[in-house]
Structure 1
Amino acid sequence: MSSVLCHHFEAGRCRSCTWLGTPYDAQLVAKQQQVEDLLGHLVGEVGWLPPVAGPQLGFRTKAKMVVHGTAAAPTLGILGPTGSGVDLRDCPLHTPGIRAALPVLADFVGRADLAPYDVPSRRGELKHLLVTESPDGELMVRFVLRSQEPLARIRKHLPALQGDLPGLVVASVNLQPEHKAVLEGDREIVLTDQQTLTMRVAGLHLHLRPQGFFQTNAAMAAELYRRARAWVAEVGPRSVWDLYCGVGGFGLALAAPGRQVTGVEVSAEAVAAATQSAADAGLTDVRFQAGDATAYALARSAAPDLVVVNPPRRGIGADLAGWLETSGTGHVLYSSCNAQTLARDLTAMPSLRPVRAQLLDMFPNTAHHEVLVLLERS
């Protein structure tokens, strides 16, 4: 099966998809067993809803490509064990639009004379190409550079690139001058008039800025928001906090007449995008602010009816879990990409018992997953 799905996996050039050789149905069974082993004693007699499956290939809407080789003959992909470039521009995980765009971008590297960065010698400029495709087929392309030296050449040749890639609506340069394994830097230079990519999922129009985070599996993100909307509709809260809100997906999905929604996110770029999305949708009862989620909660004198938490892999941690346990909030909707930290956090909130849980296969061909849990105060 693996030779049919990906010739790079079969040849041993790339093993990032560690489960690619396992039939997809068996992957789902194994993931469900993993989360039940970790969370079964917490979910208890409520049980699990059936796992949500998605396409095994062609689902990744974002490509993070290491650039190696030379400007005339670049590789776009990963670095192999010896430090040489492994070209993965035809990686079958990516959407067809990204797979079609990567060879065009490889040609652009040569046209603009963008010397790939060489780690041992610390020479060269272009470190990564980051490409995102929206569900509508529009593209955002980011060039991660060591310095501004190639910026004028990129600007010069950008109109030709837009001609070759009609779907390219946002292009930017990210500056990452440090010699360390960091994907991108803090400074972003947007090169196009349009500054956001619109991700249309689950009836939402979410603005995504170059440094904003969005799930790499847009189809499964849509399923996540649909379930959140349906579960919360049964609860009917008048006030909601969306902590770790990112570009506002959960908060905007849960907006309803008479309901106050507040989103909190540490990234100012993401908050600006979420605020723009809310304004475009005419949602006057939804607001977003930049800040630390835990600090925001601990500084409030009263809790909302429902709190959504969608933390990174480290989970929400002891301070926020402790606050939720004693806060008096009636419900918590927890979206987790790490069942181990989810189990730890749920254990710290015994007064909030799971009433519904479901696995969504956000990351096929790997051991990773997304789990959505609705908690109710007992």
Structure 2
Amino acid sequence: MTGEGTHGVIGEETHGEVQEVPCDATGTGVDDGTQDGTYESSREHTREEVGLKSQVGIRVKPQAEDRAKHQAEDRAKHQAEDRAKPQAEARAKTLAEAQLKTQAQTREPYLLECVRLASDGTGVGYIDGLVTFVPGLLQGETGLVRIEERKKHFLRGELVKVMKAAAVRQDPPCPVFHACGGCQLQHMNYEETLLWKNRWVQDALARVGKVHVRVEPVLGMDFPWRYRNKVTLHRDKANASSGGKPTRGNAAEGTGTQAVLGYYQNRSHTTVAFHDCLLLSERMNSWIRAVSRVIDDFPGIEDVTLRESDAGEGLFLIKDSRSGKGSTFAVKRAFFPEVGSALATRAGDTPLRLWGQETLEVSFLGVHFRVSPLAFLQVNYIMAEKLYSLVRQFAGLTGKEHVWDLYSGVGTLSLIVAGCAHDVYGIEENPFAVEDARRNADLNGFKHVQFLQGKVEDNLPRLPLRPDVVIMDPPRAGVTAAVIDHILRSRPGKIIYVSCDPATLARDLSRIVRGEYQVSLVQPVDMFPWTRHVETVTCIVNKNR
């Protein structure tokens, strides 16, 4: 499965902010000892004074009480100052960082050589001994870089000009590539993107997981364009609040009109409009233009999700913040005759059908599926089918095996392997997906497949049989330690792990291979060409079975 992930170099520097915790942050420590010493000295002095003045009959008790009172007040004052000191230092540090940032932005560009790419596709070099991240710079290139952000352990720069270009550099075909956050790798040729994805998987396994195995070449696409079957577009917030009048800079490329729907810009919630996204089919792009023409009439629309079936049928899901006359519930099919189905939803609500079917119909490897709008499905039909074929091949089922499918979604992997298994048990937390999975099992006539709804760690004890094969396709966060421990206690013959994040895959493999398991095959799949993301299918075998 996929989703958004973190930016950074796996196992090395990160893009995260480094926070310093001030020493003696509680206001205690050295000062307490100093105050205790001062108090002791004062007390000895008081004793001597009492002895002397007692000899001449002077009352000293009020004076001693005054001194003790003043000392107590001084201690309280110093302790309050000590407690306030870390906050004052933090404010000063924040101000200093802001001043450095302003200074860096006005400074002349640096000449920087890129030595490698981080796992998010960002170029990596060094300035004044600090690792520097520069989007758009490729390995072996030299560029003029202006520092945008300074942190204690790293810098972030903007590429001003490429002075020495790499042979693999190409002009990005997309006109909004540099502004849009959807793709990160269009400035290099496709074969080079596959090589880097292979390296990122290899590095993650070795550095994060300490797993040293061969990683197969990435399985790529013959035509790496027009592959996405799903897209979510965001309405520009300024447009929504101003009655749909577009803001400056949101003009769609190639048209004389203003658009209000787009992708999010990288590292922000600013929308980037487009006329033709090269990752979407021409049909989907035409649907987006149709929505853009009438969206001003529906100020409640926040997000729009479009899905396309493998047969070219469309499903339109609208996220609406309003109800009543101005809501998307008043949308008429006449506005979008090209889209076969439409549903609307508000936060937490079950989607309401506006017209057409409530599900999208697709097929993989001869198995048919109906998918509801809020259920997960791989966004690339061509590569998804290749991935599913790999899983079935790695499982090597003979018809006698008991199979667990964890994080089973709408039942794609469960039902694709069901024809060669004795029985299959799937576990999925998303209730919409579980409903789809049960309906899909009935649709394909699989009576020996069951699905449980809920968290995997909660439902594993409910499974009745020891598995021969465990299939896992978790979200980007990976698998919890509790799930891994339960699987290892069950001692399956094979574990097939489908991952969308090399770092969490490496972490989980390091837990799995400590005992009687070993990695036999790692096969990356380019599910998302031109982006930093990569799917990886890993086959893990029990050495004792």
The 1:376/1:258 distance shift into structure 2, 3 A limit, reads: closer
The aligned runs of 1:334-353 (5 Å cut-off) are: 334-350=497-513, 351-353=516-518
* Pair 1:75 & 2:240 matched: no
Which residue of 456, 461, 484 corresponds with 1:293?
A: 456
Please tell me whether the aligned partners of residues 43 and 353 of structure 1 are also in contact (alpha carbons under 8 angstroms): no
| CA–CA separation in structure 1 for the residues paired with 2:313 and 2:170 | 30
CA–CA distance in structure 1, aligned partners of residues 463 and 270 of structure 2: 52
Matched letter for residue 52 of structure 1 = L
Maintained 8 Å contact 2:359/2:372? yes
Measured in 2, the distance between the counterparts of 1:82 and 1:292 equals: 32
Does the 8 A contact of 1:333 with 1:372 survive in 2? yes
Q: Against the structure 1 CA distance between its residues 328 and 83, is the aligned structure 2 distance closer, same or farther, given a 3 Å change threshold?
A: closer
Deviation at 1:361, TM superposition (A): 0.7
User: Following TM superposition, by how much is the alpha carbon of 1:320 offset from its aligned partner in structure 2, in angstroms?
Assistant: 0.8
Structure 2 counterpart of 1:53: 220
**Whole-Å separation in 2 of the counterparts to 1:314 and 1:92:** 29
269-278 vs 50-59, greater mean Cα deviation:
50-59
Residues 321-351 of structure 1 show CA distances to partners (whole Å, capped at 9, x for unaligned) of 1112221211111000111111111111122
Residue type at the aligned position of 1:37: D
Equivalent residue in structure 2 for 1:65, among 216, 229, 233: 233
The SS at the match of 1:354 is: strand
- In 2, distance between residues paired with 1:79 and 1:28? 25
Inter-CA distance 270–89: structure 2 relative to 1 (3 Å threshold): farther
1:365 aligns with 2:530: yes
CA contact under 8 A between 1:308 and 1:334: conserved in structure 2? Answer: yes
- Over alpha carbons, which structure has the higher Rg? 2
Distance 1:278 1:266 in 2: 17
Shift of 1:37: 2.0
Normalised to the residue count of structure 2, the TM-score between the two structures is 0.60
The whole-number CA distance in structure 2 between the counterparts of 1:252 and 1:348 is 28
- Tell me the equivalent position of 2:31: none
Report deviation, 1:89.
4.4
Matched-pair contact (CA < 8 Å) for 1:244–1:310: yes
Is the counterpart of residue 317 in structure 1 residue 484 in structure 2? no
Q: Which residue of 2 aligns with 1:209?
A: 372
**Matching residue of 2:309:** 134
In the TM superposition, residue 201 of structure 1 has moved relative to its aligned partner by 2.6
CA contact under 8 A between 1:148 and 1:175: conserved in structure 2?
A: no
Q: Residue 341 of structure 2 is aligned with which of 164, 167, 170? A: 170
Shift of 1:35: 1.0
- Alpha-carbon distance, 1:100 to partner: 1.7
Counterparts in 2 of 1:300 and 1:251: CA distance versus 1, 3 Å: closer
CA distance in 2, matches of 1:169, 1:154: 16
For the residues of structure 2 that align with 1:82 and 1:328, how far apart are their CA atoms?
45
TM-score (norm 1): 0.86
Contact 1:324-1:349 within 8 A present in 2 as well: no
Q: Give the stretch that moved more between structures: 331-340 or 320-329.
A: 320-329
Offset of residue 141 of structure 1: 0.4
Note if contact 2:395-2:494 (Cα within 8 Å) is conserved in structure 1: no
RMSD of the alignment, in Å?
A: 2.3
Q: How far did 1:192 drift?
A: 2.6
The number of residue pairs the alignment matches comes to: 351
Partners of 1:5 and 1:375 lie apart in 2 by 39
Residue identity over aligned pairs, in percent, reads: 26
- What amino acid is the match of 1:8? V
Match of 2:521 in 1: 356
1:158 and 2:332 aligned: yes
The aligned counterpart of 2:422 is: 259
Q: Report the AA paired with residue 161 of structure 1.
A: F
Checking the alignment, whether the CA contact within 8 Å between 2:331 and 2:354 is kept in structure 1 is no
- Which residue in 2 is equivalent to 1:119? none
> For residues 64-93 of structure 1, what are the alpha-carbon distances to aligned partners after superposition, in whole Å with 9 as ceiling and x for unaligned?
101123547542113558965421242111
Distance 1:30 1:236 in 2: 39
Residues 292-316 of structure 1: CA deviation (Å, up to 9, x unaligned): 1121114446421111110011111
The verdict on how the C-alpha distance between 1:136 and 1:332 changes in structure 2, with shifts beyond 3 A counting, is: same
8 Å CA contact 1:134, 1:200 repeated in 2: no
SS of the residue corresponding to residue 240 of structure 1 reads strand
Q: In 1, are the aligned partners of 2:408 and 2:414 still within 8 Å (CA)?
A: yes
- Please tell me whether the aligned partners of residues 354 and 374 of structure 1 are also in contact (alpha carbons under 8 angstroms): yes
Mapped pair 1:226 → 2:384: no
Partner AA of 2:321 in structure 1: R
Measured at CA, do residues 302 and 283 of structure 1 come closer, stay the same or move farther in structure 2, by a change above 3 Å?
A: closer
Task: Describe the shift of the 1:43–1:335 C-alpha distance in structure 2 as closer, same or farther (beyond 3 A).
Answer: farther
1:241 to 1:272, Cα distance in 2 relative to 1, 3 A: same
Cα pair 2:172 2:187 within 8 Å, conserved: no
Counterpart in the other structure of 2:203: 37
Q: Matched residues in 2 for 1:325 and 1:157: separation?
A: 52
Determine if the alignment matches structure 1 residue 333 to structure 2 residue 528: no
